[in-house]
Each structure stands twice: as C-alpha cells, then as structure tokens.
Amino acid sequence: MTGILIVAEVDAGELRPEFWELVTVARAMSATLSGGISIAVIGAKVDAAARQTAGIGEVHVIEDDRLADPWPEAHAAALIQLSGELAPQMVIAPRTILGAEMAARLAVRCRWQLVQDVTQIEATADGGLQGVRPVSGGAVAATIRAGAGPWVVVPRPRAFAPAEAGTGAESIAPLRHSFAPPALATACETPKRIAVEGISIDRAKTVIAGGGGLCGPEPFTLLREIADLVGGAVGASRVAVDSGWVQSALQVGLTGKTIAPDLYIAVGISGAIQHLIGCSSSQVIVAVNNDASAPIFGVANYGVVGDWKEVMPAFRDALAGRTA
Ligand SMILES: Cc1cc2nc3c(=O)[nH]c(=O)nc-3n(C[C@H](O)[C@H](O)[C@H](O)COP(=O)(O)OP(=O)(O)OC[C@H]3O[C@@H](n4cnc5c(N)ncnc54)[C@H](O)[C@@H]3O)c2cc1C
C-alpha cells in the first residue's frame, strides 16, 4: 500500500514547479503516515518530467495520447485508476486549474475527504487531519478538520517552501500503468494553446496588474515595459479582462488565477474581495490608486495615493535609469 501519492502535473512536457511544494508537504506528512511516498505522472509525453521526480519515491506513469491535453475528465480518470491500484492514504494535488479539478473528481468518485487550499496541514491524535485555510480574501484563517482518511489534499500555491529539486542522478525506471478509463463522456476536440506574452503570472516573482482605473488597453503597454524591466509578468483584474483590454490568462482572482509572487503591484485596482482572493498571499503588495479609501489599501504593504498616469511613467523611468 502507498502512503502518499503526489500528483506531478506536466504542462507541455514540463514538470510544473508546484510539484516541489507538494514534495515538502508529503515529506512532512510521511512522518505520521506509513507506506512511503509515490508520484503519479500523467500525460502524453512525460518521460523527461518523470525523470525529474526521481529520488523522491516510486514513480508511477500513465502515458497515453488521450492525456495529451489538460482535459480534466481524462486526467481525473487516470488519477482515479492509479489511486484504485495503489490505495494511497493521501493524495496531494497542485492547486492548478487541472490539479484542483482532478482532486475534486477523485474525492467525489472515491468518497475521500477533500482538504482544499490549505496553508498548514497536520495529522491529529484521533487519526484525522487539521489544516488552515485562508478565506474571505485572506482576512480570516479558518481551521478545518477532516476525519479518518483517505484524504485528497490540495495545498495553496506558495504556502509551502519548495523542496530542493533532485538531479535525476538516482533515477530508476518508472512503473508504467496502461490507461484503461471507463467510457469518457467528454473529449477535447480542438485543443488550442493560447500563447501568453511574457512569463505566466503564476510563475513570475513580480506581477504588475492593471484594473478598471487604467480605462483602456493602451496603458497595459506601460505595465508591460515595467514588467520587462524587472523580469516580471503583467496581470489584470476582471474588469480589464471583461472589457477586452487583455487576455483572460492574465486575470487574478476568484474566477482567474491565484498567485503568490514576491511582489504584486496593483495599479488602478479597487481591491474587491474577488480580486484579493487571487493575490492576498503575495509577499509584498503595492497599490497605486487615486482613491485613498479604496479597499486595496487595506491589504497593501505600501501604497501610493495618486494618478497612475503620473506615478507609473516615473516608476518606469526610474527603473530604466537603474537598469541602463
Ligand atoms: C462571482 C464573481 C467573480 C469575480 N471574479 C473576479 C476575479 O477573478 N478577479 C477580479 O479582479 N474581479 C472579479 N470579480 C469582479 C470584482 O467584484 C470587481 O468588480 C473587480 O475586481 C473590479 O475591478 P477593478 O478594481 O479593476 O475595477 P474598478 O472597480 O473599476 O476600480 C477601479 C479602481 O481604479 C481606481 N482609479 C481610477 N482612476 C485611477 C487613476 N487615474 N489612477 C489610479 N487609480 C485610479 C479607482 O479609484 C478604483 O479603485 C468577480 C465578481 C463576481 C461577482
């Protein structure tokens, strides 16, 4: 029997970096769960990614062309199959769009306990789990308890320090499982990967996001210049996305991405709760807003009450001077 099964998500052939945070959680939990750590690598071309996970535990691979796209039903079917074969006490999945959906489907299908979006997690003396989950945009830290396992745990991104990546030197052959899904009700017919300009917001250490206060798409060029100067990414509020100023991959928040960069600069963003849910775990938040009563100042570490049209070009010029 496996103790802990980590879902190693592979995106376009590359192991997603959240994996190393899941390893930290798994190692901490393995002190109280017997059976050791195993890794599930699911996808179409996953050899290189599987090799990167070597040295952490047994690597189980389901490789199949039907898993080429990040289609939740197929990937969840593969994870449900592997979980049935390995009978883990705990599955740890990343809180990515695909990972969170696989976790939810697994928990529902197997009737296992789902412990979502936790920033802390520990075993309790009565054989259950206790975790902490930020709610209301991070304003409240809720303590959540789950009874006896198996559990499906989804840690909040960036809440746990990533484990050191291995060298792959201790690589052993992964254990291969053939994909034998039940009839799938849905399929991804015409997959189209939408190219995102620059670094993805969930990987960048600095994110400069614009909102309704920018009043159009043009000012995002200025944010892009600043992002390029600091090696960061451009993000956006839902107003900017719904207005068609930027692509939806840039949206931060409840219906966008949850990110936790080292530095988040919110420009012309009011700080609605649905937005804060996506950025409140950032290490440092800087707000630029001309309304001193905007809620964003309630969560910002530093704030500039002013017009972005004056503040941001000056910031860009100062950065450009520094990096020239
Ligand atoms: C179910 C649901 C899900 C949602 N999901 C999301 C989500 O994922 N992400 C998200 O962002 N929102 C989401 N929303 C929408 C959210 O409630 C807000 O409407 C949205 O975040 C507001 O965006 P904003 O602050 O950029 O724009 P606005 O509300 O228009 O605020 C603009 C801000 O810019 C400031 N400003 C104006 N001019 C200037 C200037 N010249 N210089 C500096 N500052 C200026 C204003 O003072 C104001 O604070 C969701 C809502 C619902 C109901």
Q: Kindly tell me if the per-residue pLDDT of 168 is higher than 60.
A: no
Average pLDDT taken over every residue of the chain: 93
Tokens of residue 211, six digits: 């909102």
Do 32 and 146 reside in the same domain of the chain?
yes
Do 170 and 124 reside in the same domain of the chain?
yes
Question: What ligand 1 atom has the least distance to the C-alpha of 256?
Answer: 8
Mutate to test the pocket of ligand 1, among 270, 291, 304 (most ligand atoms within 8 A of CB): 270
Domain hosting 121: range is 4-176
The reply to whether 62 falls in a domain is yes
Number of domains in the chain: 2
Do 101 and 245 reside in the same domain of the chain?
no
Specify the 3-state DSSP secondary structure of 281: coil
pLDDT (tens digit per residue) in 50-86: 999 988 999 999 999 999 999 999 999 999 999 999 9
Range 227-256 average pLDDT: 95
Q: Residue 324 and residue 318: Cα distance in Å, rounded?
A: 10
**pLDDT level of residue 192 (50, 70, 90 thresholds):** confident
Range 89-112 average pLDDT: 96
Tokens of residue 2, six digits: 């496996």
Residue 169 has a pLDDT of 53
Do 137 and 225 reside in the same domain of the chain?
no
DSSP state of 45: S
The reply to whether 131 falls in a domain is yes
Residue 88 has a pLDDT of 97
Do 283 and 231 reside in the same domain of the chain?
yes
For residue 315, the CA-to-ligand 1 centroid distance in Å is: 22
For residue 168, the CA-to-ligand 1 centroid distance in Å is: 45
In single-letter form, the type of residue at position 50 comes to A
Do 210 and 74 reside in the same domain of the chain?
no
Residue 202 has a pLDDT of 87
Range 99-107 average pLDDT: 97
pLDDT (tens digit per residue) in 245-297: 999 999 999 888 888 899 999 999 999 999 998 998 899 999 999 999 999 99
Q: Residue 60 and residue 78: Cα distance in Å, rounded?
A: 11
Do 165 and 247 reside in the same domain of the chain?
no
The reply to whether 24 falls in a domain is yes
pLDDT (tens digit per residue) in 114-145: 999 999 999 999 999 999 998 876 678 899 99
Question: What ligand 1 atom has the least distance to the C-alpha of 307?
Answer: 42
Q: In the chain, what is the straight-line distance between the N-terminal and C-terminal CA atoms, in Å?
A: 58
Q: Kindly tell me if the per-residue pLDDT of 314 is higher than 80.
A: yes
Supply the pTM of this predicted model: 0.80
The reply to whether 69 falls in a domain is yes
The reply to whether 10 falls in a domain is yes
pLDDT (tens digit per residue) in 194-210: 777 788 898 899 999 99
- Closest to 264 measured CA to CA, from 177, 204, 191, 217: 204
- Closest to 280 measured CA to CA, from 98, 97, 157: 157
The reply to whether 27 falls in a domain is yes
Do 151 and 228 reside in the same domain of the chain?
no
Range 302-306 average pLDDT: 98
Mutate to test the pocket of ligand 1, among 265, 289, 308, 311 (most ligand atoms within 8 A of CB): 289
For residue 74, the CA-to-ligand 1 centroid distance in Å is: 35
CATH of the domain at 224: 3.40.50.1220
Do 101 and 33 reside in the same domain of the chain?
yes
Do 148 and 291 reside in the same domain of the chain?
no
Do 169 and 240 reside in the same domain of the chain?
no
The reply to whether 299 falls in a domain is yes
Residue 48 CB partners (closer than 8 Å, separation 6+): 13, 14, 15
pLDDT (tens digit per residue) in 28-46: 999 999 899 999 999 999 9
Residue 324 has a pLDDT of 59
Q: Determine the angle formed by the axes of helices 219-230 and 308-323, rounding to 10 degrees.
A: 30
Ligand 1 pocket (Cβ < 6 Å) reads 211-213, 237-239, 251-256, 268-270, 272, 274-275, 278, 288-291, 294, 307-309
Minimum mean pLDDT range among 56-60, 176-180, 209-213, 319-323: 319-323
For residue 219, the CA-to-ligand 1 centroid distance in Å is: 16
Atom 28 (ligand 1) nearest CA: 212
The reply to whether 184 falls in a domain is no
